[in-house]
Structures are given as structure tokens and as C-alpha cells.
Structure 1
């Protein structure tokens, strides 16, 4: 019974988070982000401003969450789904590129909004930090790291590399011309930037995997 109550409570929290981020993006697209207050988002989602603050620290974070939602867990799941024969560094790079360039996470109008507003660009880049915790679990499972310290260090390094790539990708959007359809062209292909940022971490990721294999 307790487990059921916990499950229902978690479902309610997830539904509230989803309602808030969807309301934030909808209002930002309708009014422009500068004309949207936290109180407006909370009212549109049917919750109090106090409840809003339990989920997001700013309107920018909520708007960006509408685009990046669940991406962190999908990265971890994609790593876990890679066959055992795939090196850890390749599994991480492939999973990151796949999930960060999935068209489903780059909703046209929302991406234009984010990449053309400095505060939203910053929040979009900073959101990469949230990949660290699920990535720690995924890496720990691959290297059988019992104290998790090595997995945490590697995951933090991957999160930093993603942030650097996203920062470079969005850095050229301010004042950049739009292509037909209104989409601003970011600075360079994102898959290439992600792989370049992750490349220096490959030796450390593979070495951790090799040490785990040697212990077995």
C-alpha cells in the first residue's frame, strides 16, 4: 500500500512538472518570454507560485525544460542499451549525440525562442548539468564501480563537455540571420561539436572499463 501511495505521489509530481513546463513554453511563445511571470505560469498550470518554486527556480528553467525534458534519462538508457562489445567511450558519445540531436527534443519554434534570447540560451546550456546523476548510474553499471567515485568524476566530465559543446553551438546565434522558416542557424553542426568535446575523455572512459574487466 505504501509503495502504491509513493508511486501515485511520484506520478502526480511528474504531471505537475509537465504542466508547468508546457505552460511556460506556451506563454513564452504567445507573449514573448520577457512578458511572462512565474505567477502567470503557475496560474496557467493550475498550481500556486509556491508550488512552482518547488519545481523550477526561474521562468527560463521552466521554458527550457519543455524542450529538454527527460533527455538526461534517455542518455543513460541509451548507454545501457548499447551492446557489451561497444567500448564505453563510443557508447557515451553515441548516446549523447543521438539524444541531443534527436528532432523530438528540438521543437522548431521553441528552439528559435531559446537560441535568440541570452537568458534562455544560458539556461539551455546549464541544463546539461542535469545529465550527471543518471549518467553516473549508467557509467557505474558499465565499470562495476562500487564506490561510484570514478563514475561520478567521469559523468561530471561528460556533462562539462556537453555544456561546452552546447555553448559553442549557441554562441553564434545572437544576431545571426534566419534561414527560410525563421530558424536561426547555430554555430556549427551540433553532432560534430559534441563528438569533438567528448573526444578527450575517451581514454579515461575506456581505461575505467578496462580496469573493471581486469578485476573481473
Structure 2
């Protein structure tokens, strides 16, 4: 493969990734605004300015499209973790990686109407299986990133998998806390609090 071929493949893969994100964001926005039952694949394709066939090339349905954004964000957390300075402590690197990627999606407090709609969407039974699969894939990639920083083996050792599970859980707790406050709390400070507590070993308040 020539350098030009590699560049072309890299650009094509980035374009595919961007399309996945755009479709996922459109699905979430429409489902939050209109309600799960009131959104069809045709609506999503129109909102993302693509054909229904293009949507079907990426996702089997709304649930997979929604879960894809969570997976993409956590994959980028893993990428960011790998890029952190080698002499930085693991938990400082984790905190920076999580906050950087969540900041890319916006850390301001959601308004109450959006928070209510998002809670309703996330409670949709059809979504649970896809979210579970996305979480598993995200934790696998996070574990590999942790293993690379700590010199451990994600396939044979508990530690990188434990850290990955804690990172995923901590991020989810922060998001859920912000949703429960009905738009009164911004995500950034909550993430900082969560990962400071984890880095300190979860001391009793």
C-alpha cells in the first residue's frame, strides 16, 4: 500500500465515522423532541440529508443509531487516553481524556425539556440491548488503552478491565446525575468530581 492509498483509506474511514455520528445525533435529537414512536427512519435520513439506504448501510434501526454515539464517544476517550503524556498518572490521564471528549459534545447543563425527553428515550426498552452492546465494545477498547499505559494485558489481567468498567460507570453516573437535576447542573464539574473521587480511592464524604 502506498502512502497515498493509506491517506485515501484514512480519509474514507474518517468520513464514514463522521456520517455515523451525524446519523446518530439526528436520531437522538428527533427522538428526544418528538418521542420514540413518532420518529421513522425516513425522518432521520431527511434530517441528516442522506438517503434511507445510506442510513440502512450504517444502522439496522433507531436503537443501534442512538447507541452508536455513546460508543463513538468512549472510543475517542480511549484514543485520547493513549495520547496523554506517558509520565502523567493514570487517573489524571483518564480524567483529562473523559473531560476532553465530553467537552467536545458540550458540557453545558441541558434544559429541563431536553433532559426529560432524553430520560424518556433512554428508558425505551428497544434501546437497552443496543446500549449494552455499545458498553461492552467501549469497555473492551478502554481496557486495551489502559493496558497500553500500564504495561498490563487486557486479555489476561483483571486490572485494565476493572479500570475500564469504572471509567464507563463513572461517566454514566455523571451524565445521569445531570439529567436528574432537570438542567440545573453542568456536566463538566460533575465529571471532575467523579474522577477526583475515583483517583482518591472513593473516600467516604
Contact 2:144-2:154 at 8 Å conserved across structures: no
TM-score, normalized by length of structure 2? 0.63
Contact 1:42-1:52 at 8 Å conserved across structures: no
TM-superposed deviation, 1:190 = 1.6
Taking only aligned residues, the RMSD between alpha carbons, in angstroms, comes to 4.1
Question: For the residues of structure 2 that align with 1:32 and 1:16, how far apart are their CA atoms?
Answer: 22
In the superposition, relative to structure 1, how do residues 81 and 185 fare at CA in structure 2: closer, same or farther (>3 Å)? same
Does residue 47 (structure 1) correspond to residue 51 (structure 2)? The answer is yes
1:52-96 CA distance string (max 9 Å, x none): 48426436953993xx68432332233223323222122212322
Aligned residues: 184
Contact 1:72-1:131 at 8 Å conserved across structures: yes
TM-superposed deviation, 1:106 = 1.8
Question: For the residues of structure 1 that align with 2:173 and 2:88, how far apart are their CA atoms?
Answer: 25
Unpaired runs of 5+ residues, structure 1, are 174-183, 203-216
Does residue 37 (structure 1) correspond to residue 40 (structure 2)? The answer is yes
1:5-154 aligned within 5 A: 10-11=13-14, 13-24=16-27, 27=30, 32-33=34-35, 35-44=38-47, 45-48=49-52, 51-52=55-56, 54-55=58-59, 57-58=61-62, 62=66, 65=69, 70-100=72-102, 102=103, 104-106=104-106, 111-112=110-111, 114-117=114-117, 118-120=119-121, 129=135, 131-149=138-156, 150=158, 151-154=160-163
Question: For the residues of structure 2 that align with 1:105 and 1:20, how far apart are their CA atoms?
Answer: 15
Q: Which has the higher contact order (CA 8 A, sep 6+)?
A: 2
Question: For the residues of structure 2 that align with 1:190 and 1:64, how far apart are their CA atoms?
Answer: 23
In the superposition, relative to structure 1, how do residues 137 and 39 fare at CA in structure 2: closer, same or farther (>3 Å)? same
In the superposition, relative to structure 1, how do residues 120 and 61 fare at CA in structure 2: closer, same or farther (>3 Å)? farther
TM-superposed deviation, 1:141 = 0.6
Contact 1:165-1:194 at 8 Å conserved across structures: yes
Question: For the residues of structure 2 that align with 1:57 and 1:26, how far apart are their CA atoms?
Answer: 15
Unpaired runs of 5+ residues, structure 2, are none
DSSP-derived class of the 1:185 partner: coil
Match of 1:185 in 2: 184
TM-superposed deviation, 1:120 = 3.6
Larger Rg: 1
TM-superposed deviation, 1:196 = 5.3
